[in-house]
């Protein structure tokens, strides 16, 4: 199993300058190749990776772009391969048309293959550098692991990272178990499990909202442009965002790892988060909950360890269906958190939804069919819209 191991490192001034030049050259080559392919597309012609690679050789020989020869050629070739992948996904209707990289907004990164770095005795040295990187080894690499690719990046907060892709023999399927769980996501509680357990929403962004607002106010008062004071203020805002994202990611990793280790089958709801964040009153709370990131982590960890993740159709009326007798309620206002069915069973709204999701997911697993009992609720409002209408806590 291929797995990426990411570490922070502290570059010297010379290394930071070399990497910054490399980032700029990667961005320049990507944009030049994208422009060339776009112009060819307008002429109803197609340009592939081999042609853009030949263009790169010509660009290096021009006086205007001679500086491209000053950095390692490996990251420049890799960015052309990434552009080829972007066009392949576009023609396969899996992604939108590739966009140009912005100097201020695009991610600063460069990817090196085995010909662009040397890894010996735990020391990583990149091409065009005399000294190895000062890596903070927060965890060891797998025994005997040799990186196949190395990606160096710098985030908006100014932190430097190196990611090494290695074979990890420790990633293997876990022993099978009969345990299954339904998971209902929300805002009051981040997760509600079919076992009745409720996991509180930590509200990472809400905890630092005051500091974030203060940093943004300072940034807004700085003169527009690329001045040093504005860069410092922008960096402070980025550091607050980075701290929020780090805490959120750490919490989601712990939750998803626990769910995957304890259960063979995990049933979730197939929510359209992209549409739900259009609700301006709830967009901040939904984004902070990071439901999409939770699902992404859950799916790739389940693939690693031989587990199964089932996504039930978003229009399945999990909240209005009695998990005891199967009666479907006509209406279920969002302010109703507990309700009693005609059969006499009293339900917690979220726990009942999680139990119904589990039952529907297991039915999907057995029969192999999708779950789409109805497209909308009797009141005309879709289940997705109902979930997005909850008030921010």
Is 131 noted as a catalytic residue in this protein? no
Crossing angle (nearest 10°) for helices 73-91 and 49-61: 140
Q: Which residue has the tokens 């879709």?
A: 382
List, in order, residues 6 or more apart from 297 with CB less than 8 Å away.
252, 253, 256
d(C-alpha 34, C-alpha 47), whole Å: 10
d(C-alpha 251, C-alpha 257), whole Å: 10
List, in order, residues 6 or more apart from 8 with CB less than 8 Å away.
135, 136, 138, 159, 160, 161
Going by DSSP bridges, is the β-strand pair 265-269/180-185 parallel, antiparallel, or unpaired? parallel
Whole-Å CA distances, 354 to 77, 97, 185: 48, 38, 9
The active-site residue, picked from 18, 184, 205, 288, is 184
d(C-alpha 52, C-alpha 72), whole Å: 17
Contact 265, 310 (CB under 8 A): yes
Is 176 noted as a catalytic residue in this protein? no
d(C-alpha 185, C-alpha 310), whole Å: 14
Closest CA to 52 of 85, 92, 99, 22: 85
Is 288 noted as a catalytic residue in this protein? no
The active-site residue, picked from 18, 111, 205, 350, is 350
Q: In this structure, how many other beta carbons lie within 10 angstroms of the beta carbon of residue 79?
A: 24
The active-site residue, picked from 18, 111, 205, 269, is 269
Active site residues: 184, 269, 350
């Amino acid at each position: 199993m291929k797995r990426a191991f990411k570490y922070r490192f502290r570059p010297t001034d010379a290394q930071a300058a070399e990497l910054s030049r490399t980032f700029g050259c990667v961005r320049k080559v990507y944009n030049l190749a994208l422009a060339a392919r776009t112009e060819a597309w307008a002429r109803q012609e197609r340009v592939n990776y081999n042609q853009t690679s030949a263009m790169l050789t010509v660009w290096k020989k021009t006086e205007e772009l001679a500086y491209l020869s000053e950095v390692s050629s490996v990251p420049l070739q890799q960015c052309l391969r990434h552009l080829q992948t972007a066009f392949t996904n576009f023609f396969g209707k899996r992604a939108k048309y590739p966009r140009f990289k912005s100097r201020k907004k695009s991610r600063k990164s460069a990817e090196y293959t085995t010909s662009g770095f040397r890894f010996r005795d735990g020391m990583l040295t990149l091409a065009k550098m005399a000294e190895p990187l000062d890596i903070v080894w927060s965890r060891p690499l797998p025994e005997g692991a040799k990186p196949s690719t190395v990606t160096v990046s710098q985030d908006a907060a100014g932190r430097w990272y190196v990611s090494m892709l290695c074979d990890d023999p420790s990633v293997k399927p876990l022993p099978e178990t009969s345990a299954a769980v339904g998971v209902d996501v929300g805002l009051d509680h981040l997760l509600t499990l079919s076992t009745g357990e409720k996991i509180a929403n930590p509200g990472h962004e809400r905890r630092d909202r005051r500091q974030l607002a203060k940093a943004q106010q300072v940034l807004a008062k700085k003169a527009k442009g690329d001045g040093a004071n504005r860069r410092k203020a922008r960096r402070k805002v980025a550091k607050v965002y980075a701290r929020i994202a780090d805490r959120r990611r750490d919490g989601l990793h712990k939750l998803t790892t626990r769910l995957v280790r304890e259960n063979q089958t995990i049933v979730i709801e197939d929510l359209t988060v992209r549409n739900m964040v259009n609700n301006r009153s709830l967009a901040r709370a939904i984004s902070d909950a990071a439901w999409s990131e939770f699902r992404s982590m859950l799916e790739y960890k389940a693939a690693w360890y031989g587990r199964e993740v089932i996504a039930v159709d978003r229009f399945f009326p999990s909240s209005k269906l009695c998990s005891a007798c199967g009666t479907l309620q006509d209406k279920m206002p969002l302010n109703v958190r507990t309700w009693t069915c005609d059969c006499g069973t009293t339900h917690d709204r979220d726990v009942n939804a999680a139990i119904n999701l589990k039952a529907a997911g297991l039915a999907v697993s057995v029969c192999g069919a999708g779950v789409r009992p109805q497209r909308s609720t009797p009141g005309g409002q879709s289940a997705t819209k109902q979930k997005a209408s909850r008030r921010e806590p």
